[in-house]
Amino acid sequence: MIQSDAMRRDLVAANHILARESVLDAFGHVSLRDSADAGRYLLSRSRSPEIVAETDIRRFTLDSRPDDPDSGPFYAERVIHGALYQLRPDIGAICHFHAPAIMPFCVTGTAIMPVSHVGATMGEAVPFWSGRDAFGDTNMLVSTAEEGASLATAMGPHWTVLMANHGAVVAGRTLREMLFRAIHFCRDAEILQAALRLGTVTPLTPGEIRLSAEVNLRDTVLQRAWDYWLHRASQGRSGRPGMAAE
């Protein structure tokens, strides 16, 4: 089945946006379920997100096997994506990342909680998964089907999950929803760290989380955010210091 040009373009844009917004760096990856075949997903071959191009996009089964095995190399941790798509038919896009904003929470096991209006999109609870508890000492990559399934089970019905000493995974029903959630997950973590240094933190109430998330995930809001981030990413790629031109 031929990949949609629009899907490939959007997935490339998502890679560039998440790199520009400091969610992804040289590592991490973002995927999109194939709208023409729910049993497959799209993901770049193993490249740094900032330089991913349309020609890098590959197609995988939900067992994370590439349609073209000779078109690699591939991300070792692609099983994260396949496992979550298998477990959650409602998920349409996924990002795995190691942003500095969330790493202190991964290292200490401190809970991330929504403390900002846009941060409400992370949901009321963020599960915590430890590969060490599940599998003992490993190289910390989630690279086997068993590890992927364990992580997916830990996320459960939620949209975010922290990984002990490693990073996080964020999902969404759509690519734009996932982008909004991932970026503001990191922003909320930055705000929370600063607030904890100042004093007692007052998180959002469950009702505020539900109502604020509903507002912020409306199509008009997601479109506005997508346009803004896409503009910033395109500016960066055309010559902002520190950004590589393709």
**Rounded average pLDDT over 7-18:** 98
What's the total number of domains in the chain? 1
End-to-end Cα spacing for the chain: 28
Query: What CATH code is carried by the domain that includes residue 202?
Result: 3.40.225.10
pLDDT exceeds cutoff 80 at 179: yes
pLDDT level of residue 4 (50, 70, 90 thresholds): confident
Whether residue 85 is contained in a domain is answered as yes
DSSP symbol at 132 = H
Cβ atoms within 10 Å of 68's Cβ, excluding its own = 10
- In the chain, the amino acid numbered 227 is D
pLDDT level of residue 237 (50, 70, 90 thresholds): low
**What percent of the chain has a predicted confidence (pLDDT) above 70?**
94
The number of residues making up the chain comes to: 246
C-alpha angle with apex 131: 128 to 132, nearest 5 degrees? 110
77 assigned to active site:
yes
Whether residue 122 is contained in a domain is answered as yes
Whether residue 162 is contained in a domain is answered as yes
pLDDT score, position 239: 38
Whether residue 138 is contained in a domain is answered as yes
Read off the pTM.
Answer: 0.93
Whether residue 89 is contained in a domain is answered as yes
For residues 178 and 183, give the distance between their C-alpha atoms in angstroms, rounded to a whole number. Answer: 8
Alpha helices by DSSP H, the chain: 5-20, 79-87, 103-108, 131-135, 145-155, 175-198, 206-216, 219-237
Whether residue 244 is contained in a domain is answered as no
Least Cα distance to 120 among 211, 45, 51 occurs for: 211
pLDDT level of residue 243 (50, 70, 90 thresholds): very low
**Rounded average pLDDT over 20-28:** 97
The two tokens of residue 233 are 């990413």
Catalytic residue among 50, 77, 147, 177: 77
Contact partners, residue 110, CB within 8 Å, separation at least 6: 104
pLDDT exceeds cutoff 70 at 246: no
pLDDT digits (tens, 9 = 90+) for 32-89: 999 999 999 999 999 999 999 999 999 999 999 999 999 999 999 999 999 999 999 9
Whether residue 242 is contained in a domain is answered as no
Domain span at 196: 5-237
Whether residue 176 is contained in a domain is answered as yes
Least Cα distance to 85 among 138, 33, 147, 150 occurs for: 33
pLDDT digits (tens, 9 = 90+) for 87-143: 999 999 999 999 999 999 999 999 999 999 999 999 999 999 999 999 999 999 999
